[in-house]
């Protein structure tokens, strides 16, 4: 019989989304067994002194693309390197996107992602699935994915014309299907037609560099699509999750829809909260290109602070990274034409520190936990298994030193990519211990991980946090016909004379 693994975290401040309290945390094997003050240290337990430290649920990154084949190349962070880097930054779970090619089976793509990721992940993970085309077969496969395969979120693209983009009627059909199967509809909200026209215009004007990437798709292109997606989702009473909210304009659309009572969630990402789009005008091509992602970072330097304010106020709900990393030689596929620069940036390792550093003005420690972990667990139906320090929750924990600092650099990060968009940023707030599934996987700057340590997290449909309101609305706001006496008067009949 193997001994159970026992970890005792002593004397830290346990921070959940709703309150903080000085407590001990006792972990046995993969679960939190007890949380409370002055617990007895069980025999054989490894003790971690957390005095003056915060003990928080491990971060959940809602948006990654590990080893994604995209725009003629493949993202360099694979599921092993990417999840290792996540753990070094205090993130203990990622949600990655299965993206089937247009016309191809969603189920086959899902199986292929599972086959790759299961063997490599160092932390727990789950999968969203993209709907890149529409047919009865896609509709059927969505149902199987939700009922049997642990997928309760589907991403629809309103951009990448001719590749992944759906028409409005297809968005309508896929949102309606999400609603029927208890899933959350996610959108990449940008008007793909306008981007395509805008890009042609920029190139015809001789603008071929990374600045053209932002100029061909200004904020209103994102805001218009965001509003359109919200309108379509509302027409079928389907919950909507807007991935990578990058602009003030789009964030305002999400925020005012929430105030009108729509069931919509907005996800800003570490890049949009920690830096801005002024880099696209940098004189060094490789510097400017490293920031290229879609939707683009915005040149208005007040954008990150604005998005952070909305995140602090619950106008925006969760944070991801859109981690999709291409090294400079891959970005160089677009050296003469910005439309060919592979879209994507880093973030999986630095998200927690960047949000702590930049959000300290607007947020307290509890809101920090809500936006980096708990809200994601609730929306995607993993709560309180994930996103909470409590008895019976998974032992995914980060011991956080709010006073310690570190400087972000590509020279020291654990990711495979050869730059870091946060290069030189000094961050207060550092993970000193990360625990994944009850195992210390990162401690004082050292990783101790093994591929396959993480597990796939099966997510059931009809998350209460999301669907309770949806059901309520269905019950109280069904359109009804007016009961009338039938019309009995004359009806004009018209005969064509031809
Ligand atoms: O630039 C990005 N966002 N790359 C990944 C694909 C996507 O749209 O999320
Ligand atoms: Zn996207
Ligand atoms: Zn993405
Ligand atoms: Zn006639």
For a substitution probing ligand 1, which of 82, 161, 290, 322 has the most ligand atoms within 8 Å of its CB?
Answer: 322
Strands 124-131 and 91-98: parallel
Instruction: Tell me if residue 497 falls in helix, strand or coil.
Output: coil
Whole-angstrom distance, CA of residue 181 vs CA of residue 183: 6
For a substitution probing ligand 1, which of 344, 346, 347 has the most ligand atoms within 8 Å of its CB?
Answer: 344
Q: Could you report the per-residue pLDDT of 3-58, keeping only the tens digit for each? A: 779 999 999 999 999 999 999 999 999 999 999 999 999 999 999 999 999 999 99
On whether the CB atoms of residues 331 and 290 are closer than 8 A, the answer is: yes
Which residue is closest in CA terms to ligand 1's atom 7? 294
CA dihedral 275, 278, 280, 284 (to 10 degrees): -100
First vs last C-alpha separation in the chain = 94
Provide the 8-state DSSP code for 448: -
Q: Could you report the per-residue pLDDT of 203-221, keeping only the tens digit for each? A: 999 999 999 999 999 999 9
What are the angstrom distances between the C-alpha of 73 and each of 129, 325, 341, 446?
A: 20, 11, 10, 31
Atom of ligand 1 nearest to the CA of 157: 8
Q: How high is the pLDDT of residue 245?
A: 99
Q: How high is the pLDDT of residue 1?
A: 58
Question: How many CA atoms, within 13 angstroms, populate the side-chain half-sphere of residue 165?
Answer: 16
Whole-angstrom distance, CA of residue 177 vs CA of residue 153: 11
Instruction: Note the pTM of the prediction, 2 decimals.
Output: 0.97
* Neighbour-count burial for 164-182, b at 16+ CB within 10 Å, e otherwise: bbbeeebbbbbbbbbbebb
Burial bucket for residue 125 (CB in 10 Å: 0-12, 13-18, 19+): buried
Q: What angle do CA 286, 288, 294 make, to 5 degrees?
A: 115
Atom of ligand 1 nearest to the CA of 63: 9
Beta bridge partners of 190: none
List CB contacts of 440: < 8 A, sequence separation 6 or more. Answer: 7, 46, 48, 433, 434, 448
List CB contacts of 352: < 8 A, sequence separation 6 or more. Answer: 59, 89, 90, 91, 372, 398, 429, 431
| Predicted complex ipTM | 0.92
pLDDT in tens, the chain (498 residues): 567 799 999 999 999 999 999 999 999 999 999 999 999 999 999 999 999 999 999 999 999 999 999 999 999 999 999 999 999 999 999 999 999 999 999 999 999 999 999 999 999 999 999 999 999 999 999 999 999 999 999 999 999 999 999 999 999 999 999 999 999 999 999 999 999 999 999 999 999 999 999 999 999 999 999 999 999 999 999 999 999 999 999 999 999 999 999 999 999 999 999 999 999 999 999 999 999 999 999 999 999 999 999 999 999 999 999 999 999 999 999 999 999 999 999 999 999 999 999 998 889 999 999 999 999 999 999 999 999 999 999 999 999 999 999 999 999 999 999 999 999 999 999 999 999 999 999 999 999 999 999 999 999 999 999 999 999 999 998 888 999 999 999 999 888 877
Q: Which residues line ligand 1 (CB under 6 A)?
A: 65, 188, 244, 293-294, 322, 324, 343-344
């Amino acid at each position: 019989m193997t001994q159970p693994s026992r970890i005792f975290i002593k004397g830290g401040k346990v921070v959940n989304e709703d309150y903080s309290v000085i407590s001990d945390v006792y972990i046995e094997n993969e679960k939190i067994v007890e949380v409370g003050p002055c617990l007895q240290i069980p025999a054989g337990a490894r003790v971690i002194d957390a005095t003056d430290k915060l003990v928080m649920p491990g971060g959940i990154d809602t948006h990654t693309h590990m080893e994604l084949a995209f725009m003629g190349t493949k993202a360099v962070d694979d599921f092993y390197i990417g999840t290792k880097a996540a753990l070094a930054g205090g993130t203990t779970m990622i949600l990655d996107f299965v993206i089937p090619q247009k016309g191809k089976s969603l189920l086959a793509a899902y199986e292929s992602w599972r086959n790759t990721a299961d063997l490599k992940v160092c932390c727990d993970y789950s999968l969203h699935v993209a709907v890149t085309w529409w047919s009865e077969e896609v509709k059927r496969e969505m149902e199987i994915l939700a009922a049997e395969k642990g997928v309760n979120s589907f991403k629809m693209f309103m951009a990448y014309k001719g590749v992944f983009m759906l028409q409005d009627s297809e968005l309508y059909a896929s949102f309606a299907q999400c609603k029927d199967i208890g899933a959350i509809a996610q959108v990449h909200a940008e008007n793909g037609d306008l981007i395509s026209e805008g890009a042609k215009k920029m190139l015809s004007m001789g603008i071929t560099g990374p600045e053209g990437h932002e100029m061909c798709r200004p904020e209103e292109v994102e805001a218009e699509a965001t509003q359109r997606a919200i309108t379509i989702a509302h027409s079928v009473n389907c919950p909507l999750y807007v991935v990578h909210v990058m602009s003030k304009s789009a964030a305002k659309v999400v925020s005012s829809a929430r105030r009108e009572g729509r069931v919509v969630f907005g996800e800003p990402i570490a890049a949009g909260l920690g830096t801005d789009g002024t880099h696209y005008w940098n004189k060094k091509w490789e510097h400017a290109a490293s920031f290229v992602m879609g939707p683009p970072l915005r040149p208005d330097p007040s954008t990150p602070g604005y998005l952070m304010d909305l995140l602090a106020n619950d106008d925006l709900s969760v944070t991801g990274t859109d981690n999709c990393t291409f090294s400079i030689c891959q970005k160089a596929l677009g050296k003469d034409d910005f439309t060919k620069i592979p879209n994507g940036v880093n973030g999986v390792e630095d998200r927690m520190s960047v949000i702590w550093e930049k959000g300290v003005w607007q947020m307290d420690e509890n809101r920090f936990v809500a936006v980096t972990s708990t809200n994601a667990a609730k929306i995607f139906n993993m709560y309180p298994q994930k996103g909470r320090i409590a008895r019976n929750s998974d032992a995914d924990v980060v011991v956080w030193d709010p006073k310690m600092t570190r400087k972000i650099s590509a020279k020291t990060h654990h990711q495979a990519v050869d730059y870091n968009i946060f290069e030189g940023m000094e961050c207060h707030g550092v993970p000193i211990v990360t625990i994944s599934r009850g195992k210390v996987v990162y401690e004082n700057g050292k990783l101790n991980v093994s591929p396959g340590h993480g597990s796939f997290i099966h997510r059931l449909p009809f998350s209460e946090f999301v669907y309770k309101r949806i059901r309520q609305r269905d019950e109280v706001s069904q359109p009804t016909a007016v009961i009338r006496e039938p019309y009995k008067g004359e009806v004009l009949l018209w005969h064509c004379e031809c």
